[in-house]
Amino acid sequence: MKNLLSFTFFCCILNLSAQERPKLVVGIVVDQMKMEYLYRFQNDFSQNGFKRMMNDGYTFHNMHFNYMPTYTAPGHASIYTGTTPAMHGIVSNDWYSRSLGKEVYCTEDTSVKTIGDGTKDEGEMSPKNLQTTTITDELRLSTNFKGKVIGISMKDRGSILPAGHFANWAFWYSKTGNFISSTFYGDKLPDWVTEFNAKKGYMNYINKGWDLLKPVATYGESLADDNPYEGKLYKVDKPVFPYDLKLMVEKNDAGVLRTTPFGNDYVADFAKLAIEKEMLGKDDVTDFLTVSFSSTDYVGHILGPRSMELQDTYLRLDLTIADFLNYLDKTVGKGNYLVFLTADHAGAENARFLRDNKYNVINVDYKEITKDLKKFSVDTFGADLVKNYGSFNLHFDKEIIKTKGLDLVKVKQAFKDYLMTQEQVKRVYTEEEILANPGADYHLNCIAKGYDVTQSGDIVILDKPGYIEYGPTGTSHGTTYSYDTHVPLIFYGWNIKKGESHDKKAITEIAPTLAQKLKITLPNGTESEVLTEILDK
């Protein structure tokens, strides 16, 4: 009897020890998701997707990005590192680096090669440009590399940056229709990935085409199916349902899938198989799966935030998430997994739509901005001093300035004065003003947190609210304003109590909170501010 009691006590201790961490953490990032979508579309959501997470988990209603520019690559990097571009170095999706003197793509790495059936350029990717560790890195280190980390997304940057430096694998979608990776992670794809690709499952979605999920009356939160603020998917005659995806693929390539809600479905299909084949969450060593749903961003950019297409994409994503949670229940077990869902940035309203409704704003073509800056430079200084303009950063050609004997301080002031005469410009900050940031200017604080002195520009421009550096249709993002910074954050599952907060929070609090929750080392660049609401039991 005594031995039986001892054995029972020993088993209880083991069980308690196992519950100190979840078996699996799943990080879900929805590309270009505004918090508002959870409110606007909630009446049409199922009970088992977003609503399940909000009703049974903890929702932060007032979560914001705290830097500029608010783009995909810095967004994913900031979520998982717990710091901002000024520290982690991913200052945009692509940018002109002053230290390298050339254009840089966030995850480019020519020292590695594509593995899998993708194009050469699509696979030459790794996390080498990421300068700090991620929460996924720290999990690998804290488990002596026993805990697995896998990143999955349609976009390379959506899988590579969250998965970090020490990931077992990161997989992303190729325009060939295959999930690929690079030799940074291994010499060849796992057999289960090769088998998945061989089935060409994406064609099941393509062949069905894209029509409305629900009756047209359901889409009262959106504008008419054909409206002047929508772009056209792959040059269709009109942006209206139904879409013949098979014809689009025949005229283009399998990359078409990205611009439909079925890109999210295909990512989820692949993620579920990864859980099964990589045995994620099957032992007492915590694993981490990062999933980024990118199709929302493609649809938002092309068709805009008021399109039926976008609403349909979210209604379908809701069902995809419901199915994914049910899968986790069955395979990992309720109470054994921890999920968080957030976004890498939000997005602006279409400027023409706002203007047509009597808000005096415009869209501005960034190429025209560059052209005007060059003209001003030639007219004023007799030479083109503009090296590059992009992501609101203006770089000067220092060699020409030196050769002509110009004073850089006076050059900066002249450009600053000129830019302040432009309709879209709210403020202009020089490098010196950014680095000497006194902390009183909210927008300057955001710019400073996104500024890397070795890579960013000599001048950074802040446009006025509502103005957008983009084309006349669809939408974009990138600014310090709430429509670009305000995103959802929901924690659900293992040791998460029900609740909600309306206090303002920063996206950089997610990673250190997870570190505290999992009792592992903090990512090395984080300021370590945490969300105490989900740490209290």
Q: With DSSP H G I counted as helix, E B as strand and the rest as coil, what are the percentages for the chain, rounded to 5?
A: 40, 15, 40
Is residue 536 classed exposed, middle or buried when 0-12, 13-18 and 19+ CB atoms within 10 A define those classes? exposed
Token reading at 300:
């938002």
3-state secondary structure (DSSP) of residue 27: strand
Q: Does a cis peptide bond (omega within 30 degrees of 0) precede residue 438? A: no
Vertex 246 angle, CA 245 and 250, to 5°: 115
By DSSP bridging, strand 499-501 and strand 58-64 are parallel
Residue 72 a catalytic site member: yes
| Longest Cα–Cα distance in the chain | 96
For residues 68 and 480, is the Cβ–Cβ distance under 8 A? yes
3-state secondary structure (DSSP) of residue 473: coil
Element (H, E) at 148: none
**Catalytic-labelled residue, pool 8, 59, 70, 72:** 72
Q: What does the radius of gyration of the chain's CA atoms come to, in whole angstroms?
A: 24
d(CA 479, CA 506): 15
**β partners of residue 339:** 26, 492
d(CA 253, CA 246): 10
Q: Which residue has the tokens 């996206």?
A: 507
d(CA 306, CA 227): 10
d(CA 463, CA 422): 10
Residues serving a catalytic function are: 72
